[in-house]
Structure 1
């Protein structure tokens, strides 16, 4: 994908051309760091959100009110890496845009008119290869919180359907599902079917599930089976970095720091990222 070209066009677009207003409102901006364009994706705070400002020296506080011409936003810094359509994201706050927000914004703006884009977490190559090599799954355990089930809306497997039905039937609940298939050749097809449904949700598991683990079954040359436990929510590629908000003179450097952190992590994990993308495409 020509991300550089898309960002270049975005830099000269009007505010309305960069805005998506659905359940939430998102606005994109372009930040240039070291002659390279990067995306800032903003979530516009609703006028009903309670915002206040406190003076730390006096303890005084006052409410902040939005008006017709100005508003408050939560911002995420986003870097498009030069390989594999890999995207690096750093949220400025817990309510700042996520990778799913980016997916919504990109598709609603139709930056690439003939393509429907899917943005999903990158699983480590090892986990992708284990899922591909397995012959079945003898046990899965998945926990989905009430605010995460929407991540499963495009999944078509039975696990995803079961979880969606539970939320539709009972409302805002946290669901834990455990499915086990006993050993034995007679149930090999059931273990294969369970693996197929697990593979269906694996790409979105890091975003959808609070916990997702499975016991995969592998067939030995002599016909015997061996099992291995895998964790699907803890093997996506992430890194923690401290980001400076201001420089020594008190000037804001949040965006510069965020971009530097994203690119630094990308460089550090480039081999793993490239391998993960290649494994996911095979």
Structure 2
């Protein structure tokens, strides 16, 4: 059984460069409406072609988001008993897709996603698809990683940052859209100037009372990109500075790309009779992990119990 990663995200409103939380949205109604829509009404064709469909499991609807494979991709099938293979060709009435299973949780606009492959739709593709279909026509949506509150609180209680190291891989700079700090601006400008590149940035502020304001400013810029760091950066770490009561400073190294709430689970593809159960298995895994981490997820999005 393959092991898949389950990651959790928060759907928020995005307007004028700002991301704000909104009351719980009517995901059940949106999925119900989607289940009766035509294929064309569920399709977005921009950089890639995305199609949504609805699967029912555990008595509720869930979203399957598919990326249609380009007709130039080489697709083949092999018979393992004979070694014979044949090419698979798309035609006008059929296509091959990579699929992600997506569950909208009943609190805080939290969504759990399991990609069926590395090329299956990510949370950014889900964001594109939701906005292009105008499922919620009065709201422009953004989807950001749900971060562990403990790590976020470490950023909140720090007095400065003495060193940061960030690596942004190609195709990831778009995740910095809407961030207004200097770090995000530097990284965006690098991609605008040189195109599809990998950028590694290291900034270090010397110790000493005279540079205290600079360390505070660096921390402010770090806080600006922290919410999107797990989706934007291949690596993001920082040495945070905390002030002791006696005026002394202590440092702590934090990894900003590793406090996104995720889990790994094995997903069965077929049952004992050889019937496909991968979608049911994926939904079960997402909902089971969501139940295990419900307290942490609720706390992270401000939907605490009671």
TM-score for the superposition, normalised by structure 2? 0.88
Residues 82-112 of structure 1 show CA distances to partners (whole Å, capped at 9, x for unaligned) of 1111110001111000111111111111111
Q: Distance in 1 between matches of 2:288 and 2:84?
A: 39
Q: Which residue of 1 aligns with 2:127?
A: 103
Q: Secondary structure at the match of 2:101?
A: strand
Q: What displacement does 1:134 show?
A: 1.6
Instruction: Tell me how far apart the structure 2 counterparts of residues 278 and 231 of structure 1 sit (CA, whole Å).
Output: 23
Q: Which residue of 2 aligns with 1:213?
A: 237
From 54, 57, 63, the counterpart of 1:33: 57
SS of match in other structure, 2:202: strand
Gap runs ≥5 in structure 2: 1-24
User: 2:145 & 2:192 partners in 1: Cα distance?
Assistant: 26
CA distance in 2, matches of 1:49, 1:153: 30
Aligned equivalents of 2:165, 2:85: Cα separation in 1: 46
* Match 2:171 to one of 147, 154, 157: 147
Following superposition, the deviation at residue 150 of structure 1 comes to 2.2
> Deviations along 1:121-162, whole A, 9 cap, x unmatched?
111111111111222111100111123222223322211121
**Helix, strand or coil: the match of 1:29?**
strand
Q: Map Cα deviations across residues 187-206 of structure 1 (whole Å, 9 max, x no partner).
A: 22211211111111111111
1:200 aligns with 2:261: no
- Specify which structure has the higher proportion of helix: 1
Aligned partner of 1:125 in structure 2 is: 149
Aligned-CA RMSD value: 1.5
Secondary structure at 2:142's aligned position in 1? coil
CA drift of 1:226 comes to 2.1
Q: In 1, Cα distance between the equivalents of 2:256 and 2:272?
A: 42
Write the distance in 1 (CA, Å) between the matches of 2:122 and 2:203: 30
Q: How far apart, in 2, do the equivalents of 1:114 and 1:131 lie?
A: 33
Classify the secondary structure of the residue corresponding to 2:143. Answer: coil
Correspondence 1:274 to 2:298: yes
Determine which of 77, 90, 98 is the counterpart of 1:74: 98
- Could you tell me how far apart the structure 2 residues matched to 1:6 and 1:63 are? 38
Write the distance in 2 (CA, Å) between the matches of 1:52 and 1:2: 41
Counterpart Cα distance in 2 of 1:99 and 1:171: 23
- Aligned-pair distance for 1:224? 2.9
Single out whichever of 249-258 and 270-279 deviates more from structure 2. Answer: 270-279
Which residue pairs with 1:225 in the alignment?
Answer: 249
SS of 1:240's partner is strand
Looking at secondary structure, tell me which structure has more strand per residue: 2
Q: How far did residue 7 of structure 1 move?
A: 0.8
Point out where structure 1 has 5 or more consecutive residues left out of the alignment: none
Please state if 1:159 is matched with 2:183: yes
2:114 matches 1:86: no
Structure 2 residue 173 is matched with structure 1 residue 173: no
Partner SS, residue 151 of structure 1: helix
What is the CA–CA distance in structure 1 between the aligned matches of 2:174 and 2:188, rounded to whole Å?
Answer: 8
In 1, the alpha carbon distance for the partners of 2:82 and 2:189 equals: 52
Which residue in the other structure is 1:265 paired with? 289
